Amino acid sequence: MFRYLLFLLFLLIPQVSFASVRLAVLEFQGAGIDPNLLQLLTDEVRTGIVHVTKGEKIKGEKLIIMTRENMMQVLKDQGLSAEDCVGECEVEIAKNIGADYVISGNVTKIGTLFALVVKLHSTADSNLLASESFKTKSAENLVNDSGKVGAKVFQEGLNLSPKQQNASAVSSGFQGGFSQEEDSDWVIKKGKSKGIVHFTSTPSGATVMMNGKLVCPSTPCKKNLVLGKHNISIQRERYFEWKEQVTLAKGTKVNAILKPTFGYFEVMSSFSGVSLFMNGNKLGKTPISRRELDPGRYNIRIKDNCYKGPEYRFELKPGDTEVVDYPIKQRQSGIDVSVVESNGDDVSAKVYVDGKPVGDSPEIFQVPLCSKEVTVVVRGNRIKQSLSLKEREVAKVEFRLPERKQTVSTTRAAPRRVERRSYGKGYETTFIRQGVFMMGCTLNDGDCQKSEKPRHEVTISHNFYMMKSEVTQGLYESLMGENPSQFKGCGIDCPVENVSWLDAVKMANKLSQKEGLETCYSISGADVSWYNKDCEGWRLPTEAEWEYAARGGENYKYAGSGTTRKVSWYSRNSTAQTHPVCRKALNGYGLCDMSGNVQEWVYDSWRGSYGFSTPESNPVYIDLSSSENVFRGGSWYNNAWSSRVSRREHNNAAYRSNSLGFRLLRAN
């Protein structure tokens, strides 16, 4: 938008009835030129025209130079604005305000050279009547000579004769004689003393005028000036003019604190990304950072499908700051959640909306209108449905569970303590009977932390086979086609490490597929579900199953002993590396390395403490709001304290470490 801010001139004359010629002077333009300099140039041209036209008549009519206020009012009455003009439209603007002639100017800067072009147009026929250019390397010279350029263009365009001084009378005749030569001594007359004056302003970048003349185009600056009393004016766009009579002396520092013609405002809110409108125009999305705003009255409203809030009104004055703490609320809806078995029975489930827990089903929940997803967790399974809600309406959301696969159990006559069986190549299993144990801090263990408490009773109501050792490098590579371990030099009988929780569940499914068993996990990217808790395939142990197996029916501090060294490769004896599995003593269930070699992933999500002391049966903890899973046991890297049976640690599902592996189990 080529913006003309109309800087207009006016001679204070009484209202008369005779015709007049009207002249408009438009604000000078210049890309990249300081607006304060352009304003000064316009002012100087106005002054130059006033001087040469005082008392003049144009075609026998009185010349009127229109004021800015008069011109803006005319445009307003016509429903127009100085911004309605695009391109070179001096004549169009002048016609809109009823002017007969129009002066316009343009400033260009190339390197250090300023070039000023002033033009005079007639609005009757749009003809260019006159133009003049002026070049200089000094902004000060540009301002001081612009008035002469403007006057010359006006006089030439309208064929006006320059005003001349009255000529002295010339006597007739001739009288001879000699001229008298000047023979007095030449001396320099002393003028007023001068000195360097330092001009600054807050903010900087202001124009300094002294006695109506340009001193410097931008503060800060230092100038050599005549000392004494002077009228100083310091101006900057969008700030009030600073004017004072100052007595200048050598070394004087003149600092102007400029007051803004605008104010500031900002918007804070408890919700981000909400669309706001000011006076009907789009303002932006919350929060709105501090910004300048012209004085006036304003209103702010929300226009957002997901949020609502009241209209906020305020009036801003120059220099004021308006901070709006906008009370935004989410638009509301509801969901009626139920979970149904394949036989039609209703079951209770944990309900999450967009990953946040809202309660247990069956229930009606009030939720934000723009909620995207509801998830239920039942028997350790996560089932999701997308949402498309209507404001102030309740939508019914039903989850139907797949038919549970019935398993036929066989009675095994197990030995008094353990039974070992080999399944395929590369691993050995131990049969572990169902039972009851005390989970958490080992009795009389003074080293326990909050995460290991409270000690509580847990029932494992099913038999299972657990791998005697951690999964070895050989077994992992034979199934997955790679060996991610750092300690490859240890050999294929050493535990695999540098595996994530996701790597472990994928390997469990691979082993089940190889052996023709049901796969226990549904895996989609990083999303893992365990739908059938009676699955016959291989899987990670739950945290409760792992600790039950590690304790081995005993109450030792470590897995199989009250002494670390006997059952564990840990920091004091590992020589900072892993070792082939099962080189240390077994625990009561015939399992090895559960207190050392590598730590082991389990299926559960992390929770900071057990949070209860009541008995549990087959517990498994799944929390959609947690991105971390648990791992248990000690490793070659850990000290004895970290190798205790009750010790718990955690990290995200993608975490890998050269001291972290896993072992698997399968249902009986």
- Residue 638 neighbours by CB under 8 Å, 6+ apart: 570, 571, 596, 599, 659
Residue 355's pLDDT is: 83
Q: pLDDT class for 174, splitting at 50, 70, 90?
A: very low
3-state secondary structure string across 134-147: EEECCHHHHHHHHH
Q: pLDDT class for 411, splitting at 50, 70, 90?
A: very low
Residue 420's pLDDT is: 44
Q: Which two tokens stand for residue 632?
A: 């248990």
In sequence order, the β-bridge partners of residue 437 are: 458
Over 70: is that where the pLDDT of 66 sits?
Answer: yes
For 352, list phi and psi in degrees, rounded to 5.
-125, 140
User: Once rounded to an integer, what is the mean pLDDT over residues 312-339?
Assistant: 94
Over 60: is that where the pLDDT of 418 sits?
Answer: no
User: Once rounded to an integer, what is the mean pLDDT over residues 314-334?
Assistant: 93
Over 80: is that where the pLDDT of 232 sits?
Answer: yes
Q: pLDDT class for 381, splitting at 50, 70, 90?
A: confident
Residue 255's pLDDT is: 95
User: Once rounded to an integer, what is the mean pLDDT over residues 269-273?
Assistant: 87
Q: pLDDT class for 415, splitting at 50, 70, 90?
A: very low
527 class by beta-carbon count within 10 Å (0-12 exposed, 13-18 middle, 19+ buried): exposed
Residues 546-600: tens digit of each pLDDT: 999 999 999 899 999 999 999 999 999 999 999 999 999 999 999 999 999 999 9
Q: How far apart are CA 527 and CA 532, in angstroms?
A: 16
Over 50: is that where the pLDDT of 399 sits?
Answer: yes
Percent of the chain with pLDDT over 70: 85
Note the pTM of the prediction, 2 decimals: 0.46
Better-scored residue on pLDDT, 100 or 257: 257
CB 29 within 8 A of CB 38: yes
Q: pLDDT class for 12, splitting at 50, 70, 90?
A: very low
Q: For residue 423, give the 3-state DSSP assignment.
A: coil
Alpha helix stretches (DSSP H) within 515-595: 543-551, 564-567
For 578, list phi and psi in degrees, rounded to 5.
-80, 170
Query: b or e along 471-500 (b: 16 or more beta carbons within 10 Å of the residue's beta carbon)?
Result: bbbbbbbbbbeeebbebeebebbbbbbbbb
80-94, 100-114, 129-143, 512-526: least confident range: 80-94
Q: pLDDT class for 404, splitting at 50, 70, 90?
A: low
Token pair 């101006």: residue: 235
